[in-house]
Amino acid sequence: MCGIIGIAGTRDVAPLIVDALRRLEYRGYDSAGVATLNDGKLDRRRSPGKLNQLVKLLDEHPLPGFTGIGHTRWATHGAATERNAHPHASSRVALVHNGIIENFRELKNELRAAGHQFESDTDTEVAVHLITQHLDEGCSPEDAAKKAVKRLAGAFALVMIFKDEPGLLIAARRGSPLAVGYGPKEAYLGSDAFSLAPFTNRVAYLEDGDMAVVRGADVVIYDSAGKWVARPIHVIPPSGGMVDKGNRRHFMAKEIHEQPEVVGHTISRYVDASGPNVNLPWKWGPCSGMLRG
């Protein structure tokens, strides 16, 4: 499963994001990246391979900025390359994504016809261009995100940052888990409470259809009907982040609800959904001919 981090902070967040991503390494990943907002402009660093490769890149090319997002990717659409690594971005928005956008081909064809040019093989990039199109039409970041999310089919968690919008994070959840962390001067978004444990012990879990709008330390959550809601804030004990049930009653329930995503990632080991191509490993048996390895 992909890992997501977002921080609306009061200091340079890239090192904090990388530290949080390390706490998500247990999910498995093949590339990683960070994007920040600095002087009103979006910038990012991405690398295939382990987080150490990203750290080396950030050492060589630092990424300042108090607002940022990070991601560890498990490839489903497109190979594990820098251009397919998250965050994906236009000149106006950068975002990270966990899950699968099922109608990405339809949306991609529509956006290409409207003049959008794609740089990756991922399903995620359609969300970037869809939001950008709404921004170009004059929508606010919040309205652009709402309109785009309504058109996405599938299971996903999204966190995005916007040009010229310091302190703003917008998140949406449908199927894939996402938690909100509350600090006295900062707010955080993460795939689970464990990733947020170094920053805060006050965590709320978004429910299906929720959208969270973070402005600095202020968090407003809307449900699928667009109504303001208050999700319970849980105080996580010091060791509680190590074993995170999310908003499920017990670990068995959590594992049951994670099964579609886990099966999807297992299948993606052999099926490239951007093709689609099926790649099964084969080997020759000494007596029975070709055998599946």
- Tell me how far apart the alpha carbons of residues 152 and 99 are, in angstroms, rounded to a whole number: 11
pLDDT of residue 278: 60
Write down the pLDDT at residue 127: 96
Nearest Cα neighbor of 165 from 16, 44, 41 is: 41
Q: How far apart (Å, rounded) are the C-alpha atoms in residues 251 and 249?
A: 7
- What number does CATH give the domain 3-251? 3.60.20.10
DSSP 251: H
In a structure prediction context, what are the per-residue pLDDT tens digits for the chain, which is 293 residues long? 688 999 999 999 999 999 999 988 887 788 899 999 999 999 999 999 889 999 999 999 999 999 999 999 766 655 667 788 889 999 999 999 998 899 989 999 999 999 999 998 888 999 999 999 999 999 999 999 999 999 999 989 999 999 999 999 999 999 889 999 999 999 999 998 889 999 999 999 999 999 999 999 999 999 999 999 999 999 987 654 444 545 555 445 656 666 665 565 445 545 555 555 666 555 444 444 444 44
**What tokens were used for 284?**
């020759």
- The pair of structure tokens assigned to 275 is 């093709």
- Separation of alpha carbons 179 and 157, rounded Å: 10
Distance CA 48, CA 85 (A): 7
- Spatial neighbors of 36 by CB under 8 A, at least 6 apart, are 12, 13, 14, 42, 43, 44, 63, 64, 65, 66, 67, 68, 161
Give the DSSP letter of residue 73. E
